[in-house]
Structure 1
Amino acid sequence: MVVVNMWLEKLMELMGEDKVIVSQNVKERLSKDYYWYSPVLYEELKEKIADCIMKPTTMDEVKEIVAFAVDHKVPVTIRGAGTGNYGQAIPLKGGIVLDLTMLNRLLEVTDQTVRVQAGMKLGVLEKSLRAQGKELRIFPSTFMTATVGGFLCGGSGGIGSIRWGNLWDQNILGVTVMTVEEEPQIFDVAGEEIEQYIHNYGTTGIVLEAVLPIENRTEWEQHIVSFHTFKEAIKFADELAHIEEVTKRLVSVCEWPIPTHFQGLKEYLQPNKSIVMLELEEKSRELLKQLIQKYAGAIDLTIPASKYHRGLKVSDFTWNHATLWAHKHGENMTYLQARFKVGQIFEQMDAIRGKYGNEVQFHFEYIKIKGEITPASLPVLIYQSKERLYEIIDYFRSVGVEINDPHTYLLGFGGYNLRMEEILQKKKENDPYDLLNPGKIPVKQETRLNK
């Protein structure tokens, strides 16, 4: 075996050749995430690749690898399942991709919390909890493959956010973190300091374990409701989202023609109808029927609670799964992350539709932000060029629609009100040599970090 980097030879001597993966195919696969959702990121990141992949099975192995990386000043990029959309897990400067999916144990379940290792899949965790009469509060639409650590460090919200908000809303109670220094330290973090490890692309420390709040299991029915117009669908969804006595896990709205891409739903959907996809507590059925009648809708599909997450799942067509289906079955499709103003949503949509027609197709996810019901938006776009994309972004902003840019890998530029000053200080403390996922901190701030 020919090894180009001297440090790779030494790493193989230390850990054993079988634990240092240098296969080109494996490196290509595990150096990438879902960055290709963005044509802009695809061009910027398609050539980036690690020098090797490592899959530790214990904390001691992680510690040994990290100490080696610090000694040889080798970059380390932490990876879960690679379901992020912004290139979070792509190594910009080579080095080691540290895949934590083998650290996947469920450590403790109490009446109100669960403690797990970072590499555990959220789908496996949710299934285990539901078997014990419990469930998670929030998880992404990719939960069947996404890991706990990947969601915490690269995500924000998802299914359940209509009720519980996003990751910053006390949906993480604790994390166990390892520093990247000569003698790596392991410590627990709780309270407000946890925010310095949320959605930070793994730049401030290596999250090894997490403590999450859990709730009693709810019997969730799934529904797809269709409407003649998108505005009727929005009005229905908005009213339902605000009815507190209806317990909800998902309220997702897609205008036609986005549903034309949903291959697994084609036999159920009516042509030219916008749809609302729901997960509601089983006992809400009668109130739901009354509200559907009010807005002249129709139920296209109901999946009973007895079949929840057994087979077809409506959540597989919500959040950024809607973008995924459009990308796979449409032509040159990408997306934005937007927040419309409550009370001005129709005026803003009319302005955008008047300017761009069906080049922009609307998709909303109802969530809570600081306790307020908010229509977050993931509009699907027909991509023409980077220049056209940013012209559309500028127009959204000109009519008062906030944009979190999903076409950049730079931390903080995608929004989420990250407390960058505190994150930078924590990175300086925990990663003094800037080896963790280098290049993801914006240049100005990176310069200040290294002063």
Structure 2
Amino acid sequence: MTVDWAKEMRELVGEDRLVLHPDQVGKLSKDYYWYSPVLEPLLRDKRADGVVVPDSEEQVAQVLAFACRNGIPVTARGAGTGNYGQAVPLEGGIVLDLSKLDRVLRITDGYARVQAGVRLGALEKRLREQGKELRIYPSTFMKATVGGFVCGGSGGIGSITWGNLWDGNVLEAVVYTMEETPRRLVVGGSELAAYIHNYGTSGVLTELTIPISDRVQWRQTVAQFDDFESACRFAFAVATDDSIRKRLVSPVEWPIPSFFKPIAKKLEPGSSAVLMETEEGSEEALAAHAASFGGRIGYVIPSDQYRKVIGLSDFTWNHTTLWALKADSSLTYLQAGFHPADFLRQIAQIKAVFGDEVLMHLEFMRSAGTVVPAALPIVRYTTRERLYEIIAFFRAIGVGINDPHTWTLEPGGRGELEAMLAAKRANDPRGLLNPGKIRVPSAMTTEE
């Protein structure tokens, strides 16, 4: 591939920092958008003109300045494990691959300061060696970067205790603006709302400070139930039992457990399952809760095997969707938020209408301090129209949907979209950062 800016860019960052080979550019222009049968045909042919892989903040600033001067769109990328086309360039230009900004800058008793390209799995390993651990992370943590998680994620393993990204799980960020002379912003407090889950539209994050916690010896346990309602009641009891320290509480409706091929033989056929990570010593409490709801403890991974064998978190959050797709390519998923107290009635309504067309699994988490059931339901896909009929039904009964079948940022409940729009106006006056991913009002211009 030859692009008219390649020679200048090569002189700017060096030959080894510029990727122009079509196969590599194509690979680095994709993420996991193919989870969605709606997005897959729309995004499969989108690609950058070239990829730049900076290894310093100075190079990030140089690339942004060059791109701004020449009107070239820039799409920031971490490891590409996002699911909505966040890292797919809709208008060509440059993919800015931040994976080589991978230095751990400082670890203290309470936080880690790292460059955006640090992989969460590597950071977790290092922290645990020092008696610490991550507070929250996605199921893709072995590949995902800190910057990619902050800019494209929301919650994950650990969210049952620590909440999602907005719940104090980002302390500070270094952000570069898209201007002819890029500014280096150090952002904290309420200003972070403009940059968390921003898809790189309001600024390029190069460094993050995140809180960490003391290492826990995590025991992984599967509880089995004859029906999904009992599994959910048990999971809610565990999720709200503050005497049990936990990292994961995930009830999964049958036949979803049958999709988990590496551990399927260890699970009861026909039974709904609750996958958990709880502190060593919580065995009796879990067994008592299980018995209260007609369940029993099944497969257990003791704490001395943590990270030494495939873990239960590898089958939760959106990894559940991945295992479902491996079993049946006609399946897809939704992202839903249920009522914190009335979720069982909502689930019953969904099952009464859709049956096995919609298979349920929940992820209990805290949001602003309240235990809530988030969900990534598995949906049998037939047509786009039918998919949006299902979404409309969810919304009609009070179940919130964050649509995973669109690449645009949608309004959230905390005003973060408004903050992003204001930051985008200030930081990206030419609209070159990941264009098409945030709906900028037509009245929003750089001129007054």
User: With structure 2 as the length reference, what TM-score do the two structures score?
Assistant: 0.97
Over 3 Å counting, the alpha-carbon distance change for 1:322 and 1:416 in structure 2 is farther
- Find 2:426's aligned residue among 424, 429, 440: 429
Cα offset for 1:347? 2.2
- Find 1:61's aligned residue among 41, 59, 64: 59
C-alpha distance in 2 between matches for 1:183 and 1:68? 9
Q: Is the 8 A contact 1:234 1:253 kept in 2?
A: yes
- Find 2:85's aligned residue among 84, 87, 106: 87
C-alpha distance in 2 between matches for 1:250 and 1:449? 45
SS in structure 2 of the partner of residue 249 of structure 1: strand
Number of the residue aligned with 1:440: 437
Cα offset for 1:396? 1.1
- Is 1:198 the equivalent of 2:196? yes
Compute the RMSD of aligned alpha carbons: 1.4
- Find 1:145's aligned residue among 125, 143, 146: 143
Query: 5 Å matches for 1:317-396?
Result: 317-396=315-394
SS in structure 2 of the partner of residue 188 of structure 1: strand
Worse-superposed segment, 378-387 or 329-338: 329-338
SS in structure 1 of the partner of residue 432 of structure 2: coil
- Find 1:308's aligned residue among 306, 309, 329: 306
SS in structure 1 of the partner of residue 149 of structure 2: helix
SS in structure 2 of the partner of residue 411 of structure 1: coil
Number of the residue aligned with 1:11: 9
Equivalent position amino acid for 1:363 in 2: H
Cα offset for 1:418? 4.5
Q: Which string of whole-angstrom CA distances, capped at 9 and with x for unpartnered residues, describes residues 203-236 of structure 1?
A: 1111111111111111110111111100110010
- Is 1:106 the equivalent of 2:110? no
Q: Which string of whole-angstrom CA distances, capped at 9 and with x for unpartnered residues, describes residues 90-139 of structure 1?
A: 10000010111111111001111110000000000011001000111100
SS in structure 2 of the partner of residue 264 of structure 1: coil
Query: 5 Å matches for 1:127-276?
Result: 127-276=125-274
Q: Which consecutive unaligned segments of at least 5 residues does structure 1 have? A: none
Equivalent position amino acid for 1:195 in 2: A
SS in structure 2 of the partner of residue 114 of structure 1: strand
Cα offset for 1:185? 1.7
Query: 5 Å matches for 1:403-418?
Result: 403-412=401-410, 415=412, 417-418=414-415
Cα offset for 1:417? 4.1
SS in structure 1 of the partner of residue 244 of structure 2: coil
Equivalent position amino acid for 1:448 in 2: M
Cα offset for 1:339? 1.5
Q: Is the 8 A contact 1:249 1:279 kept in 2?
A: yes
- Is 1:31 the equivalent of 2:29? yes
Worse-superposed segment, 361-370 or 428-437: 428-437
- Find 2:282's aligned residue among 281, 284, 288: 284
C-alpha distance in 2 between matches for 1:448 and 1:184? 21
Worse-superposed segment, 312-321 or 175-184: 175-184
Q: Which string of whole-angstrom CA distances, capped at 9 and with x for unpartnered residues, describes residues 38-97 of structure 1?
A: 111112111110000111111111121111111111111000001111111110000010
Worse-superposed segment, 285-294 or 345-354: 345-354
SS in structure 1 of the partner of residue 424 of structure 2: helix
Worse-superposed segment, 420-429 or 189-198: 420-429
Cα offset for 1:446? 5.4
SS in structure 2 of the partner of residue 301 of structure 1: strand
C-alpha distance in 1 between matches for 2:269 and 2:123? 37
C-alpha distance in 1 between matches for 2:355 and 2:168? 40
The number of residue pairs the alignment matches comes to 447
C-alpha distance in 1 between matches for 2:343 and 2:313? 24
Q: Is the 8 A contact 1:424 1:449 kept in 2?
A: no
SS in structure 2 of the partner of residue 214 of structure 1: strand
C-alpha distance in 2 between matches for 1:29 and 1:147? 17
Equivalent position amino acid for 1:116 in 2: V
C-alpha distance in 2 between matches for 1:446 and 1:189? 27
C-alpha distance in 1 between matches for 2:57 and 2:20? 22
- Find 1:46's aligned residue among 44, 52, 63: 44
Equivalent position amino acid for 1:433 in 2: R
Q: Is the 8 A contact 1:360 1:381 kept in 2?
A: yes
Q: Which consecutive unaligned segments of at least 5 residues does structure 2 have? A: none
Worse-superposed segment, 90-99 or 60-69: 60-69
Worse-superposed segment, 339-348 or 246-255: 339-348
Q: Is the 8 A contact 2:116 2:205 kept in 1?
A: yes
Cα offset for 1:319? 0.2
C-alpha distance in 1 between matches for 2:42 and 2:443? 21
